Structure formats: structure tokens, C-alpha cells
Amino acid sequence: MEDGVYLVKMRYLFPSFGYNTASNTLPSSPLRPHKMILSIETTEKYGSVALVDGEHCLREIRLTERSAKSLAPALSRLLSEEHCQADRIDAVAVVVGPGSFTGLRIGVATAKAFAYALGTKIIAVNTMATVAADFRGAGNSVGFLSIGVDAQRGEVAAQTFELSPQGVQPLSKCRLIPADEWWAEKDQYPAITFSGPALERFGSLAPDGVTLADKSFWMPRASVAGCLAAARLAAGETDDLWSLVPIYSRPSAAEERQNKECRSTG
């Protein structure tokens, strides 16, 4: 793992930050009926961190600077102000994308380092699912929702969901499309709403007849991701620390060059 720098920084910021021993995680007890989840969201330029007890968010802190500068101090402040020792964390949730290269690397590396050092569980949460759950949780329980993430180069990583009283159901896989083609989904689904981080760049270009979600629902939030992770944890679902990787909006420039070279030589 490329997490050595985070282990050093966290042990400096958090005096109770332990090593990879199972004994560091407090067992469940009648006094702790819910699982404590530390949630990290850094998919865009800014992000957030949250502490979730069961499906109740105790506290969420929005990051006001680039994640690389503010993430570790925000985690320290969060645990300190909530009087939560690091070894009380039962699982670490992290939004794994799609999203920006830099933000995702920082968030995922930090979450993996934290989970590794405490010997606790790690749970990956998808950006699209987080935005969809936040929108539905605000009372939007019926309809269709298309979520877009800015993939740069005039493209959007988009996915469509159906909202119902039973929950949120994906209707398509996440796909990379030209931004101007994203709006065509209004012709496929009745009363569809558009949301997601891509609206920061492309929202002003939406044609007539397109319904945009309120701006407060465009970005994924750590508190919502933590609640989704709590549901997965309650169902016995976790992810493998060593194989967990970010989901980028598109291949990196180096990967695209390599793929192009492979096609040309193949």
C-alpha cells in the first residue's frame, strides 16, 4: 500500500491511533447497539467527513480547502469534538468514485490507512448511489434521476436511477458520454431530474425542458455515504482492504496512451 505517509500523519494527529491488531476494535455490547462508522468523501475538489452511529449522522464537517490539505485535520477535529477515540470506529466508509483522480486517491488511501492501522472493516460507497440516496431522502420518492460526474474533455460519466417508495434502483450502468448527449435522457424517461457534480460545469448549458435538482443535492456527502455503509455493514457486507481501488471517471492520460499504443501495435 502507498499509505505510509498517512499512517505517520494519523498517528501524530490521533494519539489513540493504533496498529493492525484486532484488539484495537471495541466489541459490540448492549451499551453500543449501533456500529460507529467514519465516513470519507473526497471525489471532487472539496469533500466532507462524517461520523455515523448506526444510520444516524452524529456530525458532518465540510472541507473548505483541497482535500490534501484539510482531510487529516478535519478527521482529527471530527473525532475530537465528538469525543470519539479512534479505536471506537467499527468501520471506515469511503466514496470510491467515479470522481477526480487526485481527490479519489487521497480519500481512498486515507481510508485504507485508517482501516489497516485499526484492523477494522472498510466499506466502499459509489458516488452515484450517494447522490441518489441524498436526493430521495429529501422526499423525492418517485420518479427518475440521472446523475452526472464531470469526466473532463467535455464528457460526463452518467448513470440513471428510478426512485420509488422501496428505494433507489439503477436503470443503467455508469457510462462515459459527451456532455451534450446527457440531456437526451429527458426524452427516454418521463419527468426525469438531472443532478450530480457535472452540473457545476454543464448545468448552465442545460436546454429548455430539462429539470435540474436543487444545487444542494449535486455533490455527494459523507453523511449519506456513511448511512449507506451502515446498511451494508448491518447486512454483513464489507470490502477487501487490499483490492479496493478508486473508480475513476475515465482512464488516466497515461492509460489512454498505453491503450492506444497497444491497439496500434496489435
d(CA 260, CA 266): 10
Residue 89, pLDDT above cutoff 60: yes
pLDDT band at 106 (very low <50, low <70, confident <90, very high): very high
Residue 93, pLDDT above cutoff 60: yes
The pLDDT, as a whole number, for residue 6 is: 42
Residue 22, pLDDT above cutoff 80: no
Domains and CATH numbers, the chain: 4-127+220-250 (3.30.420.40), 129-217 (3.30.420.40)
pLDDT band at 266 (very low <50, low <70, confident <90, very high): low
Residue 88, pLDDT above cutoff 70: yes
d(CA 190, CA 187): 7
CA distances in angstroms from 47 to 203, 229, 249, 264, listed in the order given: 20, 17, 17, 39
Give 63-79 pLDDT, tens digit per residue. 987 777 889 999 999 99
Give 157-191 pLDDT, tens digit per residue. 999 999 988 889 999 999 999 999 999 999 999 88
Reduce the DSSP state of residue 17 to 3 states and report it.
coil
Q: Which amino acid is at 230?
A: A
Strand partners, 38: 51, 92
Q: Which amino acid is at 125?
A: V
Give kind and range of the element (H or E) at residue 58: strand 56-62
Average pLDDT rounded to a whole number, residues 104-131? 95
Beta strand pairing status for 56-62 and 48-53? antiparallel
Query: Which grid cell sits at 152?
Result: 473532463
Give 29-61 pLDDT, tens digit per residue. 334 456 899 999 999 888 999 999 987 899 999
Residue 86, pLDDT above cutoff 90: no
Residue 131, pLDDT above cutoff 60: yes
d(CA 213, CA 224): 17
Handedness of CA 67, 199, 136, 168 (dihedral sign): negative
- CA angle 152/246/179 to nearest 5° reads 25
Secondary structure of 160-185 in the HEC alphabet? EEEEECCEEEECCCCEEEEHHHHHHH
Residue 113, pLDDT above cutoff 60: yes
Residue 126, pLDDT above cutoff 50: yes
d(CA 128, CA 95): 10
Give 199-254 pLDDT, tens digit per residue. 999 999 999 999 999 999 999 999 999 999 999 999 999 999 999 999 998 765 54
199 vs 100, more confident: 199
The pLDDT, as a whole number, for residue 27 is: 34
The pLDDT, as a whole number, for residue 9 is: 44
Average pLDDT rounded to a whole number, residues 104-111? 94
The pLDDT, as a whole number, for residue 197 is: 96
Beta strand pairing status for 143-150 and 192-195? parallel
The pLDDT, as a whole number, for residue 265 is: 52
The pLDDT, as a whole number, for residue 25 is: 31
